[in-house]
Structure 1
Amino acid sequence: MPLTDAAVRSLKASGKDRKVADSGGLYLLVTAKGGRLWRLKYRFDNKEKTLALGAYPDVGLADARKKRDEAKSLLRGGTDPSAQRRLDKITASVARARTFSAVADEYIALQKRKGRAPATITKTEWVIDLARPVLGVRPINEITAPEILVALRQVEKRGRLETARRMRGVIGSVFRFGISSALCETDPTQALKGAIAGPQPKHHAALLQPKAFGGLLRSIREYDGTPEVRTALELSALLFPRPGELRQAHWSEFDLTTAVWSVPAGRMKMRREHRVPLSTQAVAILRDLHAITGWGQFLFPSVRSGKKPLSDNALNAALRRMGFTKGEATAHGFRATASTILNESGKWSVDAIERQLAHKDADAVRRAYHRGDHWDERVQMMQWWADQLDAMRSIKS
C-alpha cells in the first residue's frame, strides 16, 4: 500500500539495504546506515532502469510523487527520464559557462583581435565592469531588460548620464555578439531606448573673438612652464586637433619635409586615418621641439616617464595657471575657435573645414557619396589660419 508521511518518518536502518514501495514504481531505499533515498523503477526500450529522485527529508513524500509523475509524463512522450536528466545537466552547465561576464570577455578578446585602439578597449572594459555586479553571473540567454535597467539606473543615479547611455550601447554590443555566436537569441537593450535620461550637450569653453583669442595666444607664448606644454598649446591653436590626438602623437607620424602629420585611424574618434597639413609656422615649432623630445617616441612625453605621453589634464592645468578659468578656455576649445573664425571668414568651404576638424558628416547619404578630403584647399586654409594667429597675437588694444 502507498506510504504515508508518518510511515516514512518511522523507517529505521535494519543493518542492510531494503526497499519500501510506495506506488507507480516509486520506492524508498533505506540504506544499512539509515539513509532514505527516493528511487523510481521504470522500463524504457524493454529495459528496466532506476531514476534517483533525491533524499528524504530534503525531498518529502509529496515532492517525490511529483517527480515520479513528471518522469512518467516524459515516458508517455517517448523520452527516457534518465537521458533527459543528463541532457538538462549538460544544458545547465553550458548556461552557467555562458554568463554575461564570460561572453563579455569573449567580446573584448574579439575587439582586440580586430585591432581596436587600446583606449577604446580600456573604455569598453571599464563600462562592462560597471555592469558585472548586476549581470556578471547571470546566463546571458536569461537576462531580461528590467535586469539591465537596474544596472543602468545605478549609474544614472550617480549623475553619470553619458556613462549610462554608453553602458547601454556596450551591453547591447555584447548581446549582439552573443546572438552571432548562438549564445542568446535577443538583445534586451533594444527595449530600453529612451529609458535613461540623456546627457546635456557639453560645450567646451572657447574664446571666439580675435582680440580675446590673441590675448590667449600671447599668454601661451609667454608661458613659463615646461617647453613641451607650451609647444602643445601652440600646436593646439595652429592645428586644432582633439587634445588626445595631439598628446599621444608620435614623431613617426610627422613628415616635416612634406609638411604632413598623418594621425593613425586607431587614435581618431571616427576610426579613419586623418592627414593634417602643417603650416610653415607649425613646421618651425616642430623642428624646435624635435631638439628637445626627438630622442623618444612621443612629441610630448610625460615628465614621469618617457614611455608615456603627457597627462590628459596637463594642457587645461596650464591654462588655469595662466589665469584662464574653465569657463573661458579649454584645450578642446581651440577647435571651436578655429571652426567659428574659419566659417565666419567666408574664405573656405564648409566641407574643407569639416574635413580638417575630422568631423563625421551628419547626413548619411551625403557621407556615402562625398569622400573627397579637399586637400589642396586645406593646405591653403591651414597656412592662412597660421598667419591669422600671428596677426591676432599682435592685437593689444
Structure 2
Amino acid sequence: MLTDVQIRKAKAADKPYKLTDGGGLHIYVTPAGGKLWRLRYELERKEKLLSIGPYPSVGLAEAREVATNAKRLLREGKDPAVEKRLRRLQIVTDGGTTFEVVAREWHDMNKGHWVEQHAYDVLNSLERDVFPDLGSAPIKNITAANVISVLRKIENRPAAETARRIRQRMSAVFVYAIASGRAENDPAALVQKAMRPVKKGRQPAITDLEQARQVLRHADATPASPVTKLALRLLVLTALRPGTLITTPWTELADLDPQRPIWQVPAARMKLRLQYKDDDERDHLVPLPTQAIDIIKALRKLSGRTPYLFPNQRHAHRPASENAIGYLLNRAGYHHRHVPHGWRATFSTVMNERYKHDRHIIDLMLAHVPKNVVEGAYNRAEHLERRIELAQAWADLIMIDQTPIDDLLNLRRSVAPRIETTAKI
C-alpha cells in the first residue's frame, strides 16, 4: 500500500511508470513528472481504466474512496467510467435548470400580469434572500430542509411576513418547474406549517386625536433628515399610502392651482388592479390644505432640483424608501405601536367620529375600493368641494400645537434627545 511520502518522493523517469496501491488503484507517473490517479478494472472480460484525478489535488484517501465507490458500481453491473461521464453530463444539464434560472424564467412569464412595482419587489426579494443560498442549485435537488434554512434566516431578522411571502414565491417557482418537467415536487409547500406563526391583525395605529398629535411632536424631536420629517407630515395630511407618497415626482405638483390646489395622483401610481392603471378616470384627487402647501414650499428648497419630493440620500435620481418614515416613528418610541400606514386609520377614525354623514366621502379621500356596485357608483362622484373642506378640517385638527416648519427645519438632526412615550393605544 502506498504512503503520501512515497508518492511525494516519486521522481520522473524516461518512461512512464506506476506506483501500485492495490486492488487496481495506482499512481501513473509521467516523464514530465505528473502524477495521475488511475483505477484498473475489468468489465465483461475487458480491461479498462478509470481516470480519477491528479495528485496532490486528489489525495490518497480520496483516491481510495473513489476506487471503493467504483468497485461498488461494478458489483451492480455498472461501468464506473460511463457513470462518471453521465455525472458530468448531468452537471452541464442541471446548469440550465438551477433555481435561479427557473425563477427568472417564471418571473419573465408573469411580470406582464403584475404592476411594475410588484414585479420589481418579487424579483428583488428572490435576488436578496434566495439566490445567494439556492440560486446555483439544480432545482430538482433542493429539499424542504434547504428551503426552511433560507426562510429561517429571514424570520430571524425578524421579518416573518416577508418570509411567508417569499415562501409563496418559491412555491410558485417549484410548481412552474414541475409543470415544465424540471422538478418532481414542491419543497416550499412542505415547509408551510413549519414556519413561525405570524400574529394576525391590523397594522398598529394610534387613533386617538391627542395621542396622534403627540406622535408628531415626538417625531419632530427625534433626530432625522428634515426631508423625512416633512414626508411624515405630508403623509399625515394627505392620508395617502406611504409607498404612493414617497415616490411622488415633482412633475405631479408643477401646475397646482394656487386658489384651489388639487393634487392629481395618476392611477398608475395608486393601489389598483393592473387593468385599471391606465384609466385616467381612476386618478386619485387629493385636496391640499394650507399646511400641506407650506410643506411643499419647504420641500422645494430642499429637493426641488431632484426628480422626487423625497429623494434617496445616496442616489438623488431615485425616490427614498418608505422605510425612512417607519424608522423615524420607531426611533420616536412607536415601534409596534404606530406605523406609517397607520395614519390612514387615524384619519378615518377621527374624521368619521366627527363627520358621520360623510362616511362615503371620507372613504373616497382614502381611495378605498367600494364593497358593492351601488356604493361604487356613488363614490365615483368627486364631491370635491366637500373633500376640500374635510381636508382642511383634518389638517386644522391634527396640526394643533405642532412645531412651525421654519423651526422644524432649524432643529439639529443629531443631538435631539429620545423622547419616551407613555400614551397607550
After TM superposition, the score normalised by the length of structure 2 is: 0.60
Matched, 1:276 2:284: yes
Q: Provide the rounded CA distance (Å) in 2 between the counterparts of 1:225 and 1:70.
A: 72
Deviation at residue 145 of structure 1 after TM alignment:
2.6
Deviation at residue 332 of structure 1 after TM alignment:
2.9
Q: Structure 2 vs 1, CA of residues 194 and 370 (structure 1 numbering), >3 Å: closer, same or farther?
A: farther
Deviation at residue 138 of structure 1 after TM alignment:
3.0
Q: Provide the rounded CA distance (Å) in 1 between the counterparts of 2:16 and 2:161.
A: 69
Aligned equivalent of 1:375? 380
Deviations along 1:206-225, one digit per CA (max 9) or x if unpaired, are 44234555677799999999
Q: Provide the rounded CA distance (Å) in 2 between the counterparts of 1:138 and 1:239.
A: 47
Aligned equivalent of 1:340? 349
Q: Structure 2 vs 1, CA of residues 373 and 331 (structure 1 numbering), >3 Å: closer, same or farther?
A: farther
SS in 1 for 2:310: coil
Q: Provide the rounded CA distance (Å) in 2 between the counterparts of 1:317 and 1:84.
A: 57
Matched, 1:262 2:265: yes
Matched, 1:385 2:390: yes
Aligned equivalent of 2:124? 125
Matched, 1:296 2:306: yes
SS in 1 for 2:94: helix
Q: What is the alpha-carbon root mean square deviation over aligned residues? A: 5.3
Larger Rg: 1
Q: Figure out how many residues of one structure are paired with residues of the other and give that number.
A: 354
Worse-superposed segment, 83-92 or 217-226: 217-226
Contact kept in structure 1, 2:288 and 2:392, CA below 8 Å = no
Aligned equivalent of 1:10? none
Q: Structure 2 vs 1, CA of residues 349 and 194 (structure 1 numbering), >3 Å: closer, same or farther?
A: farther
Q: What letter is aligned with 2:380?
A: W
Q: Structure 2 vs 1, CA of residues 141 and 289 (structure 1 numbering), >3 Å: closer, same or farther?
A: same
Aligned equivalent of 1:165? 164
Q: Provide the rounded CA distance (Å) in 1 between the counterparts of 2:230 and 2:68.
A: 83
Matched, 1:40 2:43: yes
Q: Provide the rounded CA distance (Å) in 2 between the counterparts of 1:228 and 1:275.
A: 26
Contact kept in structure 2, 1:278 and 1:379, CA below 8 Å = no
Q: What letter is aligned with 1:241?
A: L
Deviation at residue 198 of structure 1 after TM alignment:
2.4
SS in 2 for 1:182: coil
Contact kept in structure 1, 2:351 and 2:394, CA below 8 Å = no
SS in 2 for 1:70: coil
Q: Structure 2 vs 1, CA of residues 207 and 51 (structure 1 numbering), >3 Å: closer, same or farther?
A: same
Aligned equivalent of 1:46? none
Q: What letter is aligned with 2:256?
A: L
Deviations along 1:231-259, one digit per CA (max 9) or x if unpaired, are 43443223211223212211233463583
Contact kept in structure 2, 1:39 and 1:51, CA below 8 Å = yes
Name structure 1 gaps, 5 residues minimum. Answer: 1-14, 18-26, 43-48, 73-80
Q: Structure 2 vs 1, CA of residues 386 and 224 (structure 1 numbering), >3 Å: closer, same or farther?
A: farther
Deviation at residue 94 of structure 1 after TM alignment:
0.9
Aligned equivalent of 1:237? 236
SS in 2 for 1:288: helix
Contact kept in structure 1, 2:40 and 2:48, CA below 8 Å = no
Contact kept in structure 1, 2:38 and 2:49, CA below 8 Å = no
Contact kept in structure 1, 2:311 and 2:317, CA below 8 Å = yes
Worse-superposed segment, 160-169 or 63-72: 63-72
Q: Structure 2 vs 1, CA of residues 233 and 194 (structure 1 numbering), >3 Å: closer, same or farther?
A: same
Q: What letter is aligned with 2:147?
A: I
Contact kept in structure 2, 1:28 and 1:36, CA below 8 Å = yes
Q: Structure 2 vs 1, CA of residues 188 and 240 (structure 1 numbering), >3 Å: closer, same or farther?
A: same
Q: Provide the rounded CA distance (Å) in 1 between the counterparts of 2:28 and 2:223.
A: 89
Contact kept in structure 1, 2:144 and 2:191, CA below 8 Å = yes
Matched, 1:307 2:321: no
Contact kept in structure 2, 1:39 and 1:53, CA below 8 Å = no
Deviation at residue 389 of structure 1 after TM alignment:
1.8
Q: What is the correspondence of 1:81-120 to structure 2 with a 5 Å cutoff?
A: 89-107=88-106, 117=116
Contact kept in structure 2, 1:140 and 1:184, CA below 8 Å = yes
Q: Provide the rounded CA distance (Å) in 1 between the counterparts of 2:366 and 2:374.
A: 19
Deviation at residue 298 of structure 1 after TM alignment:
0.8
Tell me which of 77, 87, 91 is aligned to 1:70. 77
Worse-superposed segment, 61-70 or 254-263: 61-70
Q: Provide the rounded CA distance (Å) in 2 between the counterparts of 1:31 and 1:237.
A: 78
Contact kept in structure 2, 1:302 and 1:310, CA below 8 Å = yes
Q: What letter is aligned with 1:383?
A: I
SS in 2 for 1:261: strand
Q: Provide the rounded CA distance (Å) in 1 between the counterparts of 2:247 and 2:347.
A: 21
Q: Structure 2 vs 1, CA of residues 313 and 118 (structure 1 numbering), >3 Å: closer, same or farther?
A: closer
SS in 1 for 2:207: coil
Deviation at residue 177 of structure 1 after TM alignment:
3.6
Aligned residues with identical type, % of pairs: 24
Deviation at residue 102 of structure 1 after TM alignment:
3.5
Deviations along 1:332-374, one digit per CA (max 9) or x if unpaired, are 3321111223444332456x6556545578xxxx689987692
After TM superposition, the score normalised by the length of structure 1 is: 0.64
Q: What letter is aligned with 1:141?
A: K
